[in-house]
Amino acid sequence: MTTEAQPSTRAHGGRLIAARLKAHGVTKLFTLSGGHLFSIYDGCRAEGIEIVDVRHEQSAAFAAEGWAKVTRTPGVCALTAGPGVTNGMSAIASAAHNQSPVLVLGGRAPQFRWGQGSLQEIDHVPFVRPLVKLAATAQETDEIPALVDQALRTAITPHGGPTFLDFPLDHVFGEADAPPAPPSLPEPWLESGADGRDIERAAAALREAERPVIMAGAGLYWGRGEAALVALAEQLRIPVFTNGLARGCVPADHELAFSRARRTGLSGADVALLIGAPLDFRLGFGAAFAADAEIVAIDAAEPDRAPPRELAAELYGALPATLGALRAAAGPPGGDSERGAWIRSLRAAEDEARAGEAAELADDRTPLHPMRVYGELIDLLDRDAIVVGDGGDFVSYAGRVIDSYEPGCWLDPGPLGCLGCGPGYALAAKLAYPDRQVVLLLGDGAFGFAGMEFDTLARHGVAVLAVVGNNGIWALEKHPMEAIYGYSLAAELRPETRYDQIAEALGCHAELVRTPTELRPALDRAMSSGQPALVNVLTDPTVAYPRRSNLA
């Protein structure tokens, strides 16, 4: 009598990694080819995870973060040993500042040869650890699945952020038994909200408020609190301002959504709900609000540093539950007439500011005013278009005038301000949402960080539209330095560089725009080309972004 052989449950380390990633819903691995990663690639091929290769490791890590930003699920990249990991560190740091759930898989020299001078032998963990929530090295092949589970759970637990695992060559090529399927990743946004006593303190402040505001940041987006925020704002009649990833969580055309009147709104508020937004430089370290304003901090988890000014209340817990409880506790507004007057005053300020932009949006100068670029582009954007900003001066103008209507539609470098993020972000966004417009706004300085990724877009057939604002200078440095010293240094680029010819040589549709009349036809052709496309627009280097504005 014969018995049928049972299928083997053993697998090599790369297959164990890929199987765990697949079990947790990962579909893409961003990478740049490296021999230390071959086993992981083989595992991904076997498990049906798409490998998306780029031209620089920073872009692999930025693409992983871009995936996390647009999907609110972990993005994953694999970086080869030594310089592969060090090349990705700026992007890892950016993900940390942005609370983006990213898992970085690192190659590593073999453990049995450690200390003998293997190729690219360096201990990554000590210098990566300050940037991540978890950094670990697999000590044995059979440790790998549990490490991947732990890293993904840690990455999405509030506050989210990057995690790092590296795999010695001998362990990732070795074999071990495949464990049972893992439990599902947690869904922290469905957990309980803030303490009831804290809710009541905040509700009491709101009931007395005459000029309340909501200032929401990226934490609102990560905490999936947008629906609860809209319900709160509508019931209590509270104007809403947003920055970063929170843009679009309240549609720009909602009656309570404001952007241009931000300085007026924040400085005039008597009670401010600060939702997922730290009191950092973007809010003047608290000085954006009046000295006697009561500030209520609301977030999914406690901050890792003390706020720069006293808070009236602190509410930490899952945002849908917290905001729902606050809405119930605060009840309908007692001073509706006062809040109506407050909202009307802000709408008047908003309308005046928008009217004041009209002349620049239609400016006919040559080279073009940056605002004229957006005057044409805005009309071409769908409501759910994903706009990626990678630059200083050029993207600052975009931040003023491009409105967002859905969550996850505005991606910028965030508080670390790391240029070079754009091509990776745009690549991931278009792969995640192939039927939506993805528009990449690049300063000419930013192009220099990751311009070769237009080869990546062409190779993978990813039809992103890029618009370069080409003024031939580092404008956010040149103009302020000249204002301070009367001169500038290290702030010049080559005038009229043909970034369009570079993109064309890399396989993209590309056009040069010198005059306003050339712009709209070039954008139309680029959008309809069905290819990755770049429109290189020569912009006026004498135009200086106004640093003191309602968005400061």
Contacts for 516 with CB less than 8 Å, ≥ 6 apart: 363, 364, 365, 366, 368, 372
Q: Where are the alpha helices (DSSP H) in 30-143?
A: 38-47, 57-71, 83-87, 89-98, 125-128
First to last CA, the chain: 81
What is the model's pLDDT at position 48?
A: 98
Single out the residue of 454, 439, 289, 282 nearest to residue 374, CA to CA.
439
Q: For the segment 24-55, what is each residue's pLDDT rounded down to a tens digit? A: 999 999 999 999 999 999 999 999 999 999 99
8: left (phi over 0), alpha (psi -120 to 50) or beta: beta
What is the model's pLDDT at position 304?
A: 87
Please compute the mean of the pLDDT values over residues 310-314 and round it to a whole number.
96
What is the model's pLDDT at position 331?
A: 87
Please compute the mean of the pLDDT values over residues 358-386 and round it to a whole number.
98
Mean pLDDT of the chain: 95
The shares of helix, strand and coil residues in the chain, as percent rounded to the nearest 5, are: 45, 15, 40
**Distances in Å between the alpha carbon of 320 and those of 323, 330, 429?**
5, 15, 26
**CA pseudo-torsion sign 334, 338, 344, 346:** negative
Distance CA(108)–CA(80), nearest Å, equals 7
Residue with tokens 């990678």: 390
pLDDT at residue 6 is higher than 70 = no
Q: For the segment 519-552, what is each residue's pLDDT rounded down to a tens digit? A: 999 999 999 999 999 999 999 999 999 864 333 3
Distance CA(519)–CA(538), nearest Å, equals 10
Please compute the mean of the pLDDT values over residues 150-176 and round it to a whole number.
97
Q: Are 429 and 405 in contact (CB under 8 A)?
A: no
Whole-structure pTM value: 0.96
Superfamily of domain 190-349 in the CATH hierarchy: TPP-binding domain (3.40.50.1220)
Q: Are 418 and 93 in contact (CB under 8 A)?
A: yes
Contacts for 434 with CB less than 8 Å, ≥ 6 apart: none
What is the model's pLDDT at position 266?
A: 98
Q: Which residues partner with 313 through β-bridges?
A: 296
CA 491 to chain centroid: 27
What is the model's pLDDT at position 334?
A: 53
Q: Is 215 helix (H, G, I), strand (E, B) or coil?
A: strand
Element (H, E) at 245: none
Q: Which residues partner with 165 through β-bridges?
A: 105, 136
Contacts for 190 with CB less than 8 Å, ≥ 6 apart: 318, 320
Question: What topology does CATH give the domain 10-186?
Answer: Rossmann fold (3.40.50)
Q: For the segment 418-429, what is each residue's pLDDT rounded down to a tens digit? A: 999 999 999 999
Single out the residue of 421, 456, 434 nearest to residue 32, CA to CA.
456
Q: For the segment 430-454, what is each residue's pLDDT rounded down to a tens digit? A: 999 999 999 999 999 999 999 999 9
Residue 112 pLDDT level (bands cut at 50, 70, 90): confident
What is the model's pLDDT at position 333?
A: 66
Single out the residue of 160, 203, 166, 245 nearest to residue 415, CA to CA.
245
Q: Which two tokens stand for residue 379?
A: 């009309």
Q: Are 438 and 426 in contact (CB under 8 A)?
A: yes
Taking the CB of residue 293, how many other CB atoms lie within 10 A of it? 21
Kind of pairing, strands 10-12 and 175-177? antiparallel
- Residue intervals of the chain classified under CATH 3.40.50.1220 are 190-349
Q: For the segment 245-302, what is each residue's pLDDT rounded down to a tens digit? A: 999 999 999 999 999 999 999 999 999 999 999 999 999 999 999 999 999 999 999 9
Dmax (CA) for the chain in angstroms is: 95
CA angle 101, 106, 112 (to 5 degrees): 145
Please compute the mean of the pLDDT values over residues 498-520 and round it to a whole number.
98
Q: Is 358 helix (H, G, I), strand (E, B) or coil?
A: helix
Q: Which two tokens stand for residue 405?
A: 């209507």
Contacts for 310 with CB less than 8 Å, ≥ 6 apart: none
Q: For the segment 189-229, what is each residue's pLDDT rounded down to a tens digit? A: 999 999 999 999 999 999 999 999 999 999 999 999 999 99
Q: Where are the alpha helices (DSSP H) in 142-261?
A: 144-156, 169-173, 196-208, 218-222, 226-236
Residue 1 pLDDT level (bands cut at 50, 70, 90): very low
Q: Are 55 and 456 in contact (CB under 8 A)?
A: yes
Q: Are 532 and 460 in contact (CB under 8 A)?
A: no
- Residue intervals of the chain classified under CATH 3.40.50.970 are 10-186, 362-538
Distance CA(53)–CA(67), nearest Å, equals 14
Q: Are 370 and 416 in contact (CB under 8 A)?
A: no
What is the model's pLDDT at position 337?
A: 60
Q: Torsion angle, CA of 429/476/472/247, rounded to 10 degrees?
A: 20
Element (H, E) at 375: helix 370-377
Q: Are 374 and 398 in contact (CB under 8 A)?
A: yes
Q: How would DSSP label each residue in 143-158?
A: GHHHHHHHHHHHHHSS
pLDDT at residue 480 is higher than 80 = yes
pLDDT at residue 416 is higher than 90 = yes
CATH number of 362-538: 3.40.50.970
What is the model's pLDDT at position 549?
A: 39
